[in-house]
Chains A and B, each alone.
Chain A
Amino acid sequence: MRSKLIVVIFATTVMMAGLLMAIVLADSVPNGAGLAHPEFNGMQAGGDGGARLKHIGSLAFAFQSLLLVLIVCLAALGVSEQRRSTELWAYLGGTLLFSLFVWYQMYSSHQEFLATGTTDYFMGFPVATAWQVYGTWLGAIPLIILYTVGFRKFIFTEEDERKYEQLLEEIKARSEQ
């Protein structure tokens, strides 16, 4: 039987491709990818933030949300099938929710700024950007903890190591014959 996980990965990628196609076909705006800065040569400016998200904002939000799903599915794919326990899935589910929460906070803080024109600051950056800088960087920390702390439980158990050593010995014995 085919692994369901690879089908989920494939389906997620198909949906992302569909969203990309929709974005390519959406009405374009002059500052969609930035404009030359009116005063300083070599600088780009973003211009009206609301205008450039008008036609594609929700599509881009969905695209990134699916990418976060894809990342967690790929991390699960990196764990041997027999170690993909309920505990692992619960942990990865929590990781996904955390990443989606950071992404939502970033996007909604930006929307709020576009609506009000004001922002608070956190550790040197406007709040929306702080979610991007610190939140995205920290968003993968649960995966790193899973890999380092859960290494002997999910990634390369004592039993895996024994099987691997045994495989090497068999290969060595065969080559000496």
Chain B
Amino acid sequence: MEAYRQEIIVGAVVIYMIFCVITGLWAMRRTKNSSDFFIAGRGLGPIVVSLALFSSTLSGFGFVGGPGLVYSIGVSSFWMIVISSTGYALGFFLVAKRIRMIADVRNCISLPDVVAARYNSEAVRFLIAVTIVLGVMGYLATQILAMAVVMQAILSGTQMFADIGLVSCVVISSAVLIFYCVTGGIIASVYTDVVQGAIMMIAGTLILLTAMSVFDGGMQEATSIILADDSETIMPFGAAGIMASLGWFFVFGLGLAGQPHLVTKMMMNKKISDNRSILPMSLFGYVMAALLWVSIGVIMRAAVIDGVIPPLALPDDAASIFLSVFTNPLLAGIVFAGLFAAIMSTSDAFLNIGTAAIIHDIPKAIRGHSVQNELFWARVVTVILAIVAASFALYSHFQDATLVAILGAFGWATFAASIFPVLAIGLNWKGATALGAVSAIVSALLINFIVQLAGIVLPYGILGGLIAFVVSLLLFVGVSLVTKKPELDADMEAVLNI
């Protein structure tokens, strides 16, 4: 079996991609209007929503960047994942019920639709839509690039594709992504998410078992090796220190309820009461899949320190080298399919919300109505958005990484800082005002942009995103408290009373 390692890995990835294409074709027959395309007609069951929710949370970053971070900075990066239980809980307490109700009452098909209804403000809709578009471009470009790099690494190990270029890999991987997103919209996305989520859970569990067998003394031997080398790395705050760790706890914990690609999925379930089972199921799936992040990182750092394997050229090589050195080919095949699943499940969610912002929300905020024939334009813009993001990805790789890096700053932390107060607090506090919301969004965008562009490094590893989040929270509540309490429409008043 070892002799066919590369072929088995390629086979697993090809089977997975064929599945995505077939799902797209199947979902196309169920997609009859823009509501189906963007929010699956609000008719999904709890298992589908649970798997879609957690698989969209854990992107390619979780499978490649996560183990790389543990290799590089140790336990500091654990804070991004151990907070998931609190993050999911807050997301459901603060957002899940009311976003679903407002979507129903006002027939909303996007997150900007919901905030526009809540604040009765097109300015808030516009700012949230622009934030989403900027964030989506950065996220999508990095995801597509990651997908192409991994595909090139896999294919170049075979005789037939030994010389395959990165551009070809971007084209192949983007084509599959575009195909199922365009044909089946969010219905294809969530049903591929179901399989993607299942693969990620299986991969996480099997990798943990493999990782524990690398050293005779299991995980404890690995952590002892790291402790003897540099104790702080394996202590609770890791190499990056206490403030970086607590900053990630804050931004990833509270911020989950501000991620547009996640909260949009909370609008898609058939019944509000399904939320009580969606929460534990999503969290369980996430924890199982995240085992991979923790276990590979710890084992690879210990293995390098102990001289079991040579030092890695780059921290992000941790996962791929672990798979090639320590796992059997079948497991490697499943995990690589899982990696593509993680990247694609996040990418399709971003394509969907980015398209909604462009064809539905920005025109509505400017002209008062969205484009005619939304379903047709949704498909056209999905293709254009993916092509532009893929072009950004290639430009960044071959010419200049600055543009994608700037757009990348509009990632998790910016969404968290700009959307969390407006959505998560705003849906639960009648005193929240449009001016408070505008202040929060603008301050979050400005602080993140300035910290990124000026290359400001704060002491003790304090994140710029943490500062932006705290300032945005303060401005949102503070400005709302000092401005006149808004007169809510009767239906919004009723929803906020329930």
| A147 lies within 8 A of B89 (CB) | yes
| B462 lies within 8 A of A41 (CB) | no
Known: A44-B72, A137-B287. A131 touches B90 (CB 8 A): no
> B223's contact among A17, A70, A129, A148, by CB below 8 Å, is which?
A129
| B461 lies within 8 A of A10 (CB) | no
Residues of chain A within 8 A (CB-CB) of B279 are 144, 147-148
Q: Which of A105-161 contact B (CB under 8 A)?
A: 106-107, 110, 113, 117, 119, 121, 123-126, 128-129, 131-133, 136-141, 143-144, 147-148, 151, 155-156, 160-161
| A46 lies within 8 A of B250 (CB) | no
> B220's contact among A23, A56, A121, by CB below 8 Å, is which?
A121
> B460's contact among A10, A33, A41, by CB below 8 Å, is which?
A33
Count of chain A to chain B residue pairs whose CB atoms are closer than 8 Å in the complex = 265
Counting contact residues on chain A (CB < 8 A from B), the size range is: 35 or more
Residues of chain A within 8 A (CB-CB) of B237 are 46, 49, 110
B467 within 8 A of A: yes
B74 within 8 A of A: yes
Minimum Cβ distance to chain B for residue A97 (Å): 15
Minimum Cβ distance to chain A for residue B357 (Å): 26
B400 within 8 A of A: no
A63, B359: Cα distance in complex, Å: 42
Q: Which of A27-86 contact B (CB under 8 A)?
A: 28, 31-35, 37, 40-49, 52-53, 56-57, 60, 63-64, 67, 70-71, 74-75, 77-80
Counting contact residues on chain B (CB < 8 A from A), the size range is: 35 or more
| A75 lies within 8 A of B93 (CB) | yes
> A46's contact among B239, B301, B304, B467, by CB below 8 Å, is which?
B239
Q: Which of B67-96 contact A (CB under 8 A)?
A: 71-76, 78-79, 82-86, 88-90, 92-94
A138, B93: Cα distance in complex, Å: 17
Residues of chain A within 8 A (CB-CB) of B254 are 70-71, 74
B314 within 8 A of A: yes
Residues of chain A within 8 A (CB-CB) of B220 are 121, 124-125
Residues of chain B within 8 A (CB-CB) of A140 are 85-86, 88-89
B278's nearest neighbour on chain A, judged by CB, is A148
| A125 lies within 8 A of B470 (CB) | no
B34 within 8 A of A: no
A52, B489: Cα distance in complex, Å: 53
> A151's contact among B72, B101, B230, B273, by CB below 8 Å, is which?
B273
B332 within 8 A of A: no
State the 8 A-B residue pairs at the shortest beta-carbon distance, nearest first. A46-B232, A78-B93, A33-B461, A124-B219, A140-B85, A151-B276, A44-B239, A34-B239
